[in-house]
Structure 1
Amino acid sequence: MAKEEPVQARHVAIIMDGNGRWAKKRHLPRALGHQRGVEAVRRVVRGAREMGLEALTLYAFSTENWRRPEEEVSDLMGLMKRFILSDLDEFAKAGVRLKIIGDYKGFQADVVELVEGAMARTAGNTGTTLVVALNYGSQDEIARAAAKAAAEGPITPESIAAHLDTADLPPLDLLIRTSGEVRLSNFLLWQAAYTEMLFTDVLWPDFTAEHLRDALEAFSTRERRYGGR
């Protein structure tokens, strides 16, 4: 009997949690935890590209994050702008395509301009798609998709799926959450229906490409049944 081939993940999503706790453990400002979190993003995006992932989706800013202190939100916006300005050249040359899900137009005009410019510059790239969830909430996404589906005809799972922000991406294979929390936090709820999940105690600033590789290797050993036997 032939040995079954390992299951290869095409699309991985990560809830990047633990920046604040990382800083608190070290008696450092919370903003420094977010800075180290951006360094982790760089490592993981490079690793995802080298490992041949078709899509990597990162939960960067949720619709609920607006409830955080104004100073922290401002710090996050500043980090986002610096990340785009400093890393776009590398990603563009490496064939990475940037895609945004969520209502990014709810941000300040300069952030919107940077984001749209980065998406336009990388639109023709055919390597890994880096999907960044900005001002994103899954319940809102599903409601928007259902409304569009209803305007066109009967509402079915297929018609809703066709209008999700991720409709042009491979199905979600693996969802990782760092920092030991075990919940989805309004992230990719529809897409995660039959997704494999991995929850790790590693805080996001400590997450490396090797952690991602280990997660992909663990995924490859799982038997995906989609409700069957």
Structure 2
Amino acid sequence: MAALSEASSRILSDHPPGGPRHVAIIMDGNGRWATQRGRPRLFGHHAGARRVREIVEACPDFGVEYLTIFAFSTENWKRTQVEVAGLMSLFRRYISREARSLSEFGVRVRFIGDRVRLDDKLIRLMDDLEAITADKTRVNLTIALNYGGRDEVARATQRLAQDVAAGRLNPDDVDEETLPKYLDTYVLPDPDLVIRTSGEARISNFLLWQSAYAEYEFIDTLWPDFSKTEFGALCASYGGRERRYGGVRT
């Protein structure tokens, strides 16, 4: 039997056996997919958006209760104005078109990230989608939009510091269990499995705090080609891993 520390045992008990409960995906490769076909990058982003539905609807088949997808990072503003404008238009269109089907399928949608730089129409659509799916329980879909892990931790730290300054929080009580309560993901379990498509082997500032004990899969498939079959295979592979959380099994 494993010889685990008390903290490691607690973390382990929070994760169900078998496949991953929470999968996070860095959806990379849309631009390259389009370029390979002689099309503009936005063509690839539209194809990638269509792929999201298939993966969301596959989640119950593999026991995945939570799916978090990286849609737009705080660094993506560095892209060309044309591409950024096209992506923002795509997000508005996607939310408008998919709201009903997501709700009917039983998907609860949440958004994480800093909304300050987003336009008012997009923010209203995000708020509306969160509201109309608030009672759904089949799949919990979290969309990271204008999100960066460092930015999230910085914003969380600011809120924590404000509570300390106001006397609502004792500095001596701050520990590793305190900060997560101030993160955008405070109502979500930590991801068990993080997948990045397109062959890149980096985490790109995604869920830095939350993924401390996540398993990672870096695959060559470009996001628009990522299929339910491949998703299922990765979930099954996760189920065969030995996860010790810093402990030692004997």
Q: Paired residue for 1:115? A: 126
Quote the offset at 1:178 in angstroms.
0.2
Cα displacement (A) at 1:105: 4.0
CA displacement 1:6-55 (0-9 Å, x = unmatched): 52211000000000111111111111111111111111111114433211
**Partner Cα separation in structure 2 for residue 110 and residue 49 of structure 1:** 32
Structure 1 residue aligned with 2:222: 203
2:170 corresponding residue in structure 1: 153
The letter for the 2-side match of 1:56 is: L
Partner of 1:21: 32
The residue number in structure 2 matching 1:44 is 55
Q: Name the structure 2 match of 1:55.
A: 66
Measured after TM superposition, the shift of residue 68 of structure 1 is 0.5
- Which residue number in structure 2 is paired with residue 33 of structure 1? 44
| Superposed CA offset, 1:79-108 (max 9, x none) | 111111111111101111000000134211
The one-letter code of the counterpart of 1:144 is R
- Pick the aligned partner of 2:148 from 137, 149, 152: 137
Give CA deviations for 1:137-170 in whole Å, capped at 9, x if unaligned: 1011112222333422333110011211111112
Q: Give the aligned partner of residue 66 of structure 1.
A: 77
Match of 2:189 among 145, 170, 176: 170
Cα RMSD (Å) of the superposition?
1.4
Give 1:96's aligned amino acid. V
Contact 1:101/1:134, CA 8 A, preserved across alignment: yes
Larger radius of gyration: 2
Which residue number corresponds to residue 231 of structure 2? 212
| 1:200 Cα deviation from its structure 2 partner | 0.2
Structure 2 stretches lacking a partner, 5+ long: 1-15
Does the residue aligned with 1:219 lie in a helix, a strand or coil?
Answer: helix
Tell me the secondary structure at the aligned position of residue 100 of structure 1: strand
State the one-letter code of the partner of 2:25.
I
Matched, 1:80 2:66: no
Contact map agreement 1:9 1:219 (CA 8 A) in 2: yes
* 1:91 paired residue number: 102
Q: Secondary structure at the match of 2:91?
A: helix
SS in 2 for 1:201: coil
**Aligned letter for 2:235?**
L
Aligned equivalents of 1:88 and 1:111: distance in 2?
A: 13
Aligned counterpart, 2:213 = 194
The answer as to whether partners of 1:6 and 1:221 remain within 8 angstroms in 2 is no
Match of 2:117 among 106, 110, 128: 106
- The DSSP-based 3-state class of the residue aligned with 2:182 is coil
Post-superposition offset of 1:125: 1.2
Task: Tell me the distance in 1 between the aligned counterparts of 2:90 and 2:75.
Answer: 18
* Aligned 8 A contact 1:11 1:170 in 2: yes
Conserved 8 A contact 2:19-2:64 = no
Query: Which SS does the other structure have where 1:106 is aligned?
Result: coil
For residues 105 and 52 of structure 1, what CA distance do their matches in structure 2 show? 35
Q: TM-score, normalised by structure 1?
A: 0.94
* Aligned partners of 2:20 and 2:63 also within 8 Å: no
Deviation track 1:203-225 (CA, whole Å, cap 9, x = no partner) reads 00101111111110000000111
